[in-house]
Amino acid sequence: MSNREPGFDTLAIHAGAQPDPATGARITPIYQTASFVFDDVDHAASLFGLQAFGNIYTRITNPTTAVLEERVAALEGGTAALAVSSGHAAQLLVMHALMQPGDEFVAAKKLYGGSINQFGQSFKSFDWHVKWAEGLAPADFEAQITKKTKAIFIESLANPGGVVMDIAGIAAVAKKHHIPLIVDNTMATPYLCRPIEHGADIVVESLTKFLGGHGNSMGGIIVDGGTFDWAKDNRFPILTQPREEYNGMVLAETFGNFAFAIACRVLGLRDLGPAISPFNAFQIITGIETLALRMERHCENAMKVAEHLKAHDKVAWVSYAGLADDEHHAMQQKYMPKGAGAVFTFGVKGGYEAGIAVVSNVEIFSHLANIGDTRSLIIHPASTTHKQLNDDQKAAAGAGADVLRLSVGIESVEDLIADIDQALAKI
């Protein structure tokens, strides 16, 4: 058994964790401390110089957070990971490590509305510029690549529309132009999809969603796939140029296939500071232990709700890749054969006002801006998560006036269907 590769469910419970050496505690303790005592002056110097691994200050490393990082890296099939305060913080640190002022990256239009706003608005302050792919095909991404392009960004399963992206096809474009492919795997989780196996170089996730799973803790994570050759050219100077603050160390040479995760930690997290709290890390570790069980139920329930809505006389359409006649079903079977996830959209007849009426009348579904909870959630994206976008951007993102997004929880599915029915009846 010692040579056996652990299964996903086993990794979700055991990866990164050992009984506490000081007390024998089986559950990873919450190391609620700001800083750590050094053995001696030489030990301190080696830690600050990146010549040894260890703990200095919880903004940079923490033993509780380290278990979370190792566990998610194992589940995603990456070489290393960095946990931070939110999914948005993860995206910021990734781009900080890749981009210089004036640089560009290509992104899918089918993204979470907050990411669209972060990329299109906030990143302008850093002089980083997004170019939007006009469609979903790999050629649509290649058409936007210029000499300034430093990355491609997609979601494996797009929020809110549930579009399954052609990860392998887009990865081939990225490799052709020697730029990393970044995949946000929040909606799918590594239980349904492991983007690194399909050619992704970097994975980001909001730990707040399905990995934590209980809507109680904020977090984000960056997973280094260890697949990108940073030393091939000088396009990514943060990794390939000597770092003055580390006595001329070249991160790509020193740390090899986990150099990107190190760069995000010792340059991005160190200086920008969006650290995750040890308590939140502990909560998310606990949530991950039941990820496989929860995702099975999420997918089972979502399929039944989607099938019911598809036949409902007050519903115009349903977009759920798990449905056999959905336009994205073939991609779902290729990349996520265990299920199409818990989140999908549908169009209610009557448009904007009808959508508002439904979210105002649900009783079990909670009307709030989140996904990935054990509880079922509903939102009208056009009036909330995507409100900052213009009408064309909303339509492109799959958040038109008639769209409702469900995050189907793990309650009794008969109760969820009855709740949706009574809310639709009040239109």
Tens digits of per-residue pLDDT, 125-177? Answer: 999 999 999 999 999 999 999 999 999 999 999 987 789 999 999 999 999 99
* Residue 2 counted as domain residue: no
| 325 and 384 both lie in a single domain | yes
| 265 and 316 both lie in a single domain | no
Contacts of 252 (CB under 8 A, 6+ apart): 230, 231, 236, 239, 240, 259
**Residue for token pair 């792919």:** 133
Q: Quick one: three-class SS letters along 183-221?
A: EECCCCHHHHCCHHHHCCCEEEEECCCCCCCCCCCCCEE
pLDDT beyond 70 at 2 = no
The domain spanning residue 205 has which CATH number?
Answer: 3.40.640.10
| 194 and 99 both lie in a single domain | yes
Distance from C-alpha of 397 to C-alpha of 345, rounded to nearest angstrom:
12
- For the residues 55-67, what does the mean pLDDT come to? 97
Residue of 265, 284, 267, 283 lying closest to 275 (CA atoms)? 265
Q: Please say which residue of 220, 253, 287 terminates a domain.
A: 287
* Residue 178 counted as domain residue: yes
Q: Please say which residue of 266, 287, 308 terminates a domain.
A: 287
**Residue for token pair 């099975």:** 296
Q: Please say which residue of 228, 258, 287 terminates a domain.
A: 287
pTM: 0.95
* Residue 1 counted as domain residue: no
| 22 and 143 both lie in a single domain | yes
What does the pLDDT read at residue 1? 44
| 208 and 354 both lie in a single domain | no
Query: What are the DSSP calls for 143-197, one per residue?
Result: TT--TTEEEEEEESB-TTT-PBP-HHHHHHHHHHTT-PEEEE-TTTHHHH--GGG
Total domains in the chain come to 2
Average pLDDT over the chain reads 95
* Residue 158 counted as domain residue: yes
| 206 and 328 both lie in a single domain | no
Q: Residue 215 belongs to what domain range?
A: 9-287
Other Cβ atoms less than 10 A from the Cβ of 407: the count is: 28
| 119 and 199 both lie in a single domain | yes
Q: Which residues pair with 379 in a beta bridge?
A: 405
| 227 and 343 both lie in a single domain | no
| 275 and 148 both lie in a single domain | yes
| 203 and 307 both lie in a single domain | no
Distance from C-alpha of 340 to C-alpha of 308, rounded to nearest angstrom:
16
* Residue 190 counted as domain residue: yes
* Residue 68 counted as domain residue: yes
Highest mean pLDDT among 104-113, 176-185, 347-356: 176-185
Other Cβ atoms less than 10 A from the Cβ of 53: the count is: 10
* Residue 225 counted as domain residue: yes
Tens digits of per-residue pLDDT, 90-109? Answer: 999 999 999 999 999 999 99
